[in-house]
Chains A and B, each alone.
Chain A
Amino acid sequence: MMTKAKRKRLIYNLITFGLVIAAYLILQNMIDAKAISRSLKGLLVPICAWIVMAVSLNLVIGFSGELSLGHAGFMSIGAYTGAIVSGWFLSAFDMQDPTLRLILAILISGVVAGIFGALIGIPVLRLRGDYLAIVTLAFGEIIRNLVNVLYVGTTDGKLYFSFLNKNLPEGVTMLVDGAKGAVKIKPISTFTIGFALIILTLIIVLNLVNSRAGRAIQATRDNRIAAESMGVSVTKYKMMAFVTAATLAGMAGALYGLNSSTVVPTQFTFNQSINVLVFVVLGGLGNVLGSVISATFLTVLPEILREFADYRMLVYAVVLILVMIFTNNPLIRSMMNRLFGPVRTLLRGKQKKAPGGDAE
């Protein structure tokens, strides 16, 4: 017999997967029927990447309760690794199949970003709260600084790395050219692979969250001391969430990077990390479906509303402040409950299967 909580979770997961799959099928049909505008079609892969970014950041912020401000750093590691791997496989092994190259690039980028996540997590996760936030920010900046002086070239199936100065052998094909970024990428990302990556992310995150480890992660968020005294290793579980999120961000980065012909370090500044933070906050901390919806909505909105694009960051700033005050101030919360409480109970009573007003 399923408990009520379990059933609720199952329904929530089914709705999440169902919505994503339905959206994919509809969009794929529209592409086949050529019923989709060029600009929207160009947005599909970035939307997939941002969804993966938002869901993975939500794992860190919403479930383990730590604010990571360097998420774009992992994305840039992924984008650069993806570009290098893809270019190298093409020249060294003459791997012409773009799909295979893309999948390999995404997987390797995930592993590399995960390794960086672990390296960064070991020192960072000993810290707490504001310190952790500022150190992840610092790491994001360090990564951006480092890729700015990174030079990678390939020739005869060998990869050459150089740091600070362009000290590469003659006749190499440049893959990464310092401040110019990763150059001459063959755009190979496809919407289908992006969709597959979203599904993979959802499977990983939703399974992790609903597992024993996931409950431990949330316990460390809700009360660190109580969790620790119950024998939950705080560092281990925070690390688990952090490294998983870094891996997924790296994969999203590879998908995003291989969608265009160049990747420059300035694409992954602190602003990008804040962008993803806004997706997560607006979608709801700890709400995976919310992240998916808000990432989609906020990526499309600036494209269709040019006027909005100018004021995007201003609106985002106001959104961050208002959402936080409205969800955290006891006075406003009780007022909201009094206003919307009756409506909510009415909805709950009528359709028993809907999982409340959790999503947007």
Chain B
Amino acid sequence: MIFLDHLINGLSLGSIYAIIALGYTMVYGIAKMLNFAHGDVIMVGAYIAFCGLQYWGLPPVVAFLVAMVFCTLLGVTIEGLAYRPLRQATSLAVLITAIGMSYLLQNIALMIWGANPKAFPTTFINDTSLHLGQLNISSATLITIMANVVIMVTLTLFTSRTKLGKAMRCVSEDRGAAELMGINVNRTISLTFAIGSALAAIAGVLLCSSYPILQPTTGSMPGIKAFTAAVFGGIGSIPGAMLGGVLLGVIEIFGKAYISTELGDAIVFAVLIVVLLVKPAGLLGKPMREKV
């Protein structure tokens, strides 16, 4: 029973990682950059939802939508202001800019909401639980896992069936050729950031519903772990992000439960290193050939 409890906790945490990892993997696949600030967009999303509920008195669904819209705009703004001027620059320059952006968001949040952790309202998702024999599954867990599946299916359909989704795949494969075929590369990259950031808002609310402590650094650790998950599953691959996220969540919870609580993070990162050494393309990624 305890084993199953851990497994369900792991699946829930893993689903949150998976949703965050989707944002990383899409941006990485299309803009070829590690958006370090993605984790902090999660934090902003959670704060907006928190404010919507606590200060502005919005109903949960509206607060949630406001957070999503805000994060979408934020993501597009970040891309336009900081990353677009560096389209031609080396990956080192882009990565340093992204780290700067991550710190900027954290410190702005620190100025607005202060360093004291805020208790995220549990009223967001009604706290009822499902009883299966001796198992207790909270509704937050169920919703998280379901949201993950829905998002993944929607995204897969979007990228494979719609015109915009196909444009995204083209840009990811060959930016120059896509441009020649009349695809607006800048707009496609903006769209990717918009989708990734909207997902980040969802992840933020789900994360804080399960782990209700909200502070400016809330997003950074899950963000880095979700990137690990994206690499684990194969960066650029949508099913890969989901698989990697879920596996990583389960590994983390089991590691904490059966090996050592203090070493939970170390175990997660050790997984990353082993994966990169053994199968650098990730579980579902395609090995990339280098063009000279």
A145 at the interface (CB under 8 A from B): yes
Q: How many A-B residue pairs lie within 8 Å, measured between CB atoms?
A: 130
Contact A324 B104 (CB under 8 A): no
Contact B85 A332 (CB under 8 A): yes
A166 at the interface (CB under 8 A from B): no
- On whether A126 and B277 interact (CB within 8 A), knowing A67-B96, A138-B269, the answer reads yes
A-chain residues with CB within 8 Å of residue B213 when the two chains form the complex: none
Measured between C-beta atoms, what is the minimum distance from A222 to chain B in Å? 10
Nearest to B107 among chain A residues (CB) is A314
B143 at the interface (CB under 8 A from A): no
A318 at the interface (CB under 8 A from B): yes
A309 at the interface (CB under 8 A from B): no
> Which of B99, B108, B262 has the most chain A CB atoms closer than 10 A to its own CB?
B99
B280 at the interface (CB under 8 A from A): yes
Contact A274 B99 (CB under 8 A): yes
A205 at the interface (CB under 8 A from B): no
| Contact stretch, chosen from B7-15, B87-95, B188-196, B237-245 | B87-95
Contact B92 A61 (CB under 8 A): yes
| Contact stretch, chosen from A9-17, A96-104, A127-135, A188-196 | A127-135
B177 at the interface (CB under 8 A from A): no
Measured between C-beta atoms, what is the minimum distance from A355 to chain B in Å? 24
**Choice from B34, B101, B269, B290 contacting A130 with Cβ under 8 Å:** B34
> Which of A67, A127, A328 has the most chain B CB atoms closer than 10 A to its own CB?
A328
Contact B89 A324 (CB under 8 A): yes
For chain B, residues 90 to 140, give those with C-beta under 8 angstroms from any C-beta of chain A: 90-97, 99-104, 106-108, 111
A313 at the interface (CB under 8 A from B): yes
B-chain residues with CB within 8 Å of residue A328 when the two chains form the complex: 85-86, 88-90, 93
Contact A65 B92 (CB under 8 A): yes
For chain A, residues 115 to 157, give those with C-beta under 8 angstroms from any C-beta of chain B: 123-124, 126-127, 129-131, 133-135, 137-139, 141-142, 145-146, 148-149
User: Is chain A's interface secondary structure helix, strand, loop, or mixed overall?
Assistant: helix
| Contact stretch, chosen from B46-54, B153-161, B201-209, B224-232 | B224-232
A329 at the interface (CB under 8 A from B): yes
Contact A314 B108 (CB under 8 A): yes
A172 at the interface (CB under 8 A from B): no
Contact A142 B82 (CB under 8 A): no
A208 at the interface (CB under 8 A from B): no
Contact A329 B111 (CB under 8 A): no
CA distance A281 to B95 in the complex (A): 12
Nearest to A66 among chain B residues (CB) is B92
**Choice from A133, A142, A317, A331 contacting B266 with Cβ under 8 Å:** A142
- On whether A138 and B100 interact (CB within 8 A), knowing A324-B89, A329-B89, the answer reads no
For chain A, residues 310 to 360, give those with C-beta under 8 angstroms from any C-beta of chain B: 311, 313-314, 316-321, 324-325, 327-332
B183 at the interface (CB under 8 A from A): no
A277 at the interface (CB under 8 A from B): yes
Contact A320 B99 (CB under 8 A): yes
Contact B224 A137 (CB under 8 A): yes
CA distance A316 to B262 in the complex (A): 31
Contact B108 A320 (CB under 8 A): no
- On whether A324 and B93 interact (CB within 8 A), knowing A137-B224, A138-B272, A319-B100, the answer reads yes
B-chain residues with CB within 8 Å of residue A66 when the two chains form the complex: 92
Measured between C-beta atoms, what is the minimum distance from B254 to chain A in Å? 17
List 24 A-B pairs, Cβ < 8 Å. A65-B90, A66-B92, A129-B91, A131-B231, A133-B95, A134-B227, A134-B228, A138-B224, A138-B228, A141-B265, A141-B266, A142-B266, A145-B266, A277-B99, A314-B104, A314-B108, A316-B103, A317-B106, A320-B103, A321-B100, A324-B89, A325-B86, A328-B89, A328-B93
Listed in ascending order, the chain B residues whose CB lies under 8 Å from chain A are 28, 33-34, 82, 85-86, 88-97, 99-104, 106-108, 111, 220, 224, 227-228, 231, 260, 262-263, 265-266, 269-270, 272-273, 276-277, 280, 290, 292
Query: Which 9 pairs from chain A and chain B are nearest by CB?
Result: A320-B100, A138-B269, A317-B103, A328-B89, A317-B104, A145-B266, A314-B107, A321-B100, A130-B34
Q: A135-B272, A281-B96, A317-B104 are in contact. List 18 more A-B contacts (CB 8 A).
A: A61-B92, A130-B33, A131-B231, A135-B273, A138-B269, A141-B224, A142-B269, A145-B263, A145-B265, A149-B263, A164-B262, A164-B263, A277-B99, A311-B107, A324-B89, A325-B85, A329-B89, A331-B85
